[in-house]
Amino acid sequence: MTYTCIEYTVNAGVAVLTLNRPANLNSFNADMHAEVKDALKAARKDSQVRCLVITGAGRGFCAGQDLSDRNVAPDAQAPDLGASIEKNYNPLMRMLRDLPMPVICAVNGVAAGAGANIALACDLVYAARSASFIQAFCKIGLIPDSGGTWTLPRLVGQARATALAMLGDKISAEQAQQWGMIWQVVEDDALMDTVLEKARFLATQPTQGLALIKRALNASATNTFDQQLDLERDLQRLAGRTQDYREGVAAFMEKRQPEFSGR
Ligand code: T3D
């Protein structure tokens, strides 16, 4: 597939997916949805890819749905936004969360609407100091989608999630970090270097083990303590069968640095 709305590169075990419609703050149209899905599938299939970075081109990260794609003329038929969510946003969010490798979001600028919730669904979120987060949905009569009503209360608690969703206020990167919405704020000009360094490090780590950590933490939001103990048992069984577990223990015993293959 030829990409016109995104860029996708793979280097040293790290795939970088750049949303690339900067004139529209990288908002999503149908083509971008198709391209992002294609790239996520490629990352999943490619055994060389052991960490994925998502970022945006230009001054924004992503402004959510491209509103110029919506016909809201008084005489137009009401659009079926449920169908749009079912076809595009929900599959995208499921693919993102199910990727068996760490996903880092480098939030280079404003992240609004679905753009904010895509960022917050990533495993590690780094944001440029000048970046911001806006649950812009309420300003156009919509509800947070792309998992926002699930992710937000879990990250920041019900009171803050409700205020963010109902007021649609812009939250600075620093505030987002203080509230535990994101992992780290980085100076603007250091964002990509910091994220790529971390991504390259993660790409040398036990990829299957990291994928199992992700599965366990994601499941913990809805599991009981007992269910989670059972899941940990099952996932640890899988982790114990990887080559990287053998290598980790052997390297420790031999007092040397491990060389993880991701298998
Ligand atoms: O429809 C469905 O399928 C349902 C699913 C919905 C998911 C959603 O994401 S709904 C929420 C959609 N997003 C928004 O409501 C955000 C709209 N954008 C904004 O509120 C502001 O642009 C920002 C707060 C994000 C940034 O503000 P600012 O002042 O930094 O930039 P700007 O001047 O508003 O935008 C710059 C350009 O990007 C501008 O174009 P221009 O005038 O230079 O030609 C603006 O129109 C364009 N742009 C920004 N956001 C969108 C957009 N164009 C289309 N769609 C956008 N979402």
In the chain, the domains with their CATH numbers are: 6-202 (3.90.226.10), 207-253 (1.10.12)
Give CA–CA dist 242/258, Å, rounded. 14
Sign of CA dihedral 154, 155, 160, 164: negative
Identify the pLDDT of residue 175: 98
Neighbours of 184 (CB within 10 A): 14
Residue located nearest, by CA, to atom 19 of ligand 1: 63
Averaged pLDDT, groups of 10, the chain, 263 residues long: 97 98 98 98 97 98 97 92 98 97 98 98 98 98 98 97 98 98 98 98 98 97 96 98 98 98 96
Structure tokens at 44: 């999943």
Identify the pLDDT of residue 204: 98
* Ligand 1 in reach of 84 Cβ (< 6 A): yes
Look up the pTM and report it. Answer: 0.97
Identify the pLDDT of residue 261: 97
Identify the pLDDT of residue 24: 97
Sign of CA dihedral 76, 77, 78, 80: negative
* Ligand 1 in reach of 26 Cβ (< 6 A): no
* Ligand 1 in reach of 8 Cβ (< 6 A): no
Type and span of the H or E element at 155:
helix 148-156
Give CA–CA dist 45/32, Å, rounded. 20
The pairing of strands 6-11 and 14-19 is antiparallel
Please give the number of the atom of ligand 1 that sits closest to the Cα of 110.
Answer: 25
The type of residue at 138 is C
Identify the pLDDT of residue 33: 98
Give CA–CA dist 167/138, Å, rounded. 7
Residue located nearest, by CA, to atom 20 of ligand 1: 136
